[in-house]
Structure 1
Amino acid sequence: MKIIIVGAGEVGYNIASRLASESKQVVVIERNPDLARVLFEDLDVQVIEGSGSSPTVLSRAGIQDTDILLAVTDSDEINLTACLVTNLLSPSTKKLARIRNTDFDSFHEIFKTQIPYINTIINPEIEVVKTIRRLVDIPQALDTGDFADGKVRYTGIRIDGDSVMAGMHLKDFHERFGATRPLIAAIVRKDEVIVPRGNDSIYPGDLVYFVSHADQLKDTLKIFGIKVTPIQSALIVGGGRIGARLATQMENEGIKTRLIESDKARCLELAEQMDKTVVLHGDGSDQNLFLEENLNQIDAVISVTDDDETNVLVSLLAKNLGVKNTVTRIGKSSYYPFLATIGIEKVVSPRLSAVSSILQNVRQGKVLSDISIFGERGEFIQAVALETSDITNRPLKDLNMPKGALLVCIIRNGDIIIPTGESVVTPGDQIILFTVKQAVKKMEKLLTVKLEFF
Structure 2
Amino acid sequence: MKIIIVGAGEVGYHIASRLAFENKDVVVIDKSMEAIRRITENLDVQGITASGSSPETLEQAGIRQAEILLAVTDSDEANLVACLMADMLSPATRTLARIRNAHYDNYHDAFKAAPPHINTVINPEIEVVKTIHRLMKIPAAVDMGELVEGRVKFVGLRLDKHSPMAGVRLKDFASMFGQTRPLIAAVVRRQELIIPRGEHRLEVGDLVYFICENERLKETVALFDTTTIPLRRVMIVGGGRIGERLATLLEKQSIHTKIIEADMDRCHVLSEGMSKAVVLHGDGSDQNLLLEENVGDADVVVALTNDEETNILVSLLAKNLGARSTITKVSKFSYIPLMSTIGLQKVVSPRLSAISSILHDVRKGKVLSAISVLGEEAEMIEAMALETSAVTGRPLKKISFPKGAILVSIIREDAIMIPSGESVVEPGDRIIIFARRQVVHKLEKMLTVKLEFF
- TM, length-normalised to structure 1: 0.98
More displaced 10-residue stretch of structure 1: 69-78 or 402-411: 402-411
What is the deviation of 1:116? 4.2
Partner of 2:185: 185
Q: Which runs of 5+ in 2 are unaligned?
A: none
1:294 partner letter: N
Partner of 1:403: 403
Mapped to 2, the partners of 1:452 and 1:87 lie a distance apart of 37
> In the TM superposition, what are the counterparts of 1:72-91 in structure 2 within 5 Å?
72-91=72-91
Would the aligned equivalents of 2:296 and 2:324 in 1 still touch at CA under 8 Å?
A: no
Give the root-mean-square deviation of aligned CA atoms: 1.0
2:347 partner letter: V
Partner of 1:26: 26
Q: Does 1:67 align with 2:61?
A: no
Mapped to 1, the partners of 2:131 and 2:292 lie a distance apart of 29
Partner of 1:94: 94
Mapped to 1, the partners of 2:153 and 2:421 lie a distance apart of 21
Mapped to 1, the partners of 2:115 and 2:165 lie a distance apart of 52
Deviations, residues 226-257 of structure 1 (Å, cap 9, x unaligned): 21112101000111110000000001111000
Task: Please give the secondary structure, in 2, of the residue aligned with 1:149.
Answer: coil
Would the aligned equivalents of 2:80 and 2:97 in 1 still touch at CA under 8 Å?
A: yes
Task: Please give the secondary structure, in 2, of the residue aligned with 1:442.
Answer: helix
Partner of 1:437: 437
Mapped to 1, the partners of 2:85 and 2:381 lie a distance apart of 31
More displaced 10-residue stretch of structure 1: 419-428 or 232-241: 419-428
Q: Does 1:143 align with 2:143?
A: yes
Partner of 1:221: 221
Q: Does 1:380 align with 2:349?
A: no
Q: Percent identity, please.
A: 60
Mapped to 2, the partners of 1:311 and 1:328 lie a distance apart of 6
Mapped to 1, the partners of 2:368 and 2:422 lie a distance apart of 25
1:143 partner letter: D
> In the TM superposition, what are the counterparts of 1:188-207 in structure 2 within 5 Å?
188-207=188-207
What is the deviation of 1:115? 4.2
Partner of 2:157: 157
2:234 partner letter: A
1:88 partner letter: M
Mapped to 2, the partners of 1:171 and 1:416 lie a distance apart of 19
- TM, length-normalised to structure 2: 0.98
Mapped to 2, the partners of 1:453 and 1:105 lie a distance apart of 44
Partner of 2:270: 270
Task: Please give the secondary structure, in 2, of the residue aligned with 1:234.
Answer: strand
Would the aligned equivalents of 2:298 and 2:324 in 1 still touch at CA under 8 Å?
A: no
Mapped to 1, the partners of 2:56 and 2:114 lie a distance apart of 27
Partner of 1:47: 47
Would the aligned equivalents of 2:160 and 2:224 in 1 still touch at CA under 8 Å?
A: no
Report the number of matched residues: 454
1:343 partner letter: G
Partner of 2:300: 300
Q: Does 1:338 align with 2:338?
A: yes
Would the aligned equivalents of 2:31 and 2:49 in 1 still touch at CA under 8 Å?
A: yes
What is the deviation of 1:66? 0.6
Partner of 1:282: 282
What is the deviation of 1:419? 2.0
Task: Please give the secondary structure, in 1, of the residue aligned with 2:345.
Answer: coil
Partner of 2:104: 104
1:126 partner letter: I
Mapped to 2, the partners of 1:317 and 1:115 lie a distance apart of 51
Q: Which runs of 5+ in 1 are unaligned?
A: none
Partner of 1:125: 125
Task: Please give the secondary structure, in 2, of the residue aligned with 1:259.
Answer: strand
Deviations, residues 242-277 of structure 1 (Å, cap 9, x unaligned): 000000000111100000111100000010000100
Mapped to 2, the partners of 1:376 and 1:324 lie a distance apart of 28
Deviations, residues 273-308 of structure 1 (Å, cap 9, x unaligned): 001000111111010110000111111100111110
Deviations, residues 398-430 of structure 1 (Å, cap 9, x unaligned): 221111111112121232222222222110111
Q: Does 1:114 align with 2:114?
A: yes
Task: Please give the secondary structure, in 2, of the residue aligned with 1:150.
Answer: coil
More displaced 10-residue stretch of structure 1: 131-140 or 406-415: 406-415
Q: Does 1:246 align with 2:246?
A: yes
Mapped to 1, the partners of 2:113 and 2:395 lie a distance apart of 40
Mapped to 2, the partners of 1:315 and 1:414 lie a distance apart of 41
Mapped to 2, the partners of 1:424 and 1:44 lie a distance apart of 39
